[in-house]
Amino acid sequence: MHTLQDLLEPMAFSDLPPAWQDHDLATFSSAKRLWDYQQEALQFALKALWKYYEDFGDFTLDESDKANDDRKAHLWQWYRDNGLEENPDIPLQKQRRDVRALLEAYYPVEDGRISYRHCINRMSFWMAIASSSTSRKRRNCT
């Protein structure tokens, strides 16, 4: 299965328009800097956002819901054209009742599933910054 990262890998971050590169990806706060792999994750996120909001149709603040639906359809087709063969739909039958109710409140259900095309434009990632106890352990090991 191809992942979004696989599809974005050939796209150089430096090829994005300047406005999409004009960010300090190394500084997390005044006291913390991100590791190279964390900065790379942010570059992938920016490439994905550019692909969605610019390459599949130029985003405007006053655009209609249809424009967003069209953009999601383009992203879904891009996945399919680039080797996504699995069915990433979300089956509801095995979900906990509260999770199922939450999903059903926001997405249309088709044949007991939430079609992936409805949530294809969602992005999330988790980035850990070492806590002081982790840092202490790391110092003790070196």
What does pTM read for this prediction?
0.74
| pLDDT single digits (tens) 79-131 | 889 887 788 899 999 999 999 999 999 999 999 999 888 888 877 766 665 55
For the chain, domain boundaries: 4-141
Position 49 confidence tier, pLDDT thresholds 50, 70, 90: very high
Q: How far is CA 79 from CA 2, 3, 28, 134, in A?
A: 8, 9, 31, 38
| pLDDT single digits (tens) 22-47 | 989 999 889 999 999 989 999 999 99
What pLDDT does residue 136 have?
A: 43
Q: How far is CA 89 from CA 1, 16, 21, in A?
A: 14, 31, 33
Distance CA 142, CA 136 (A): 10
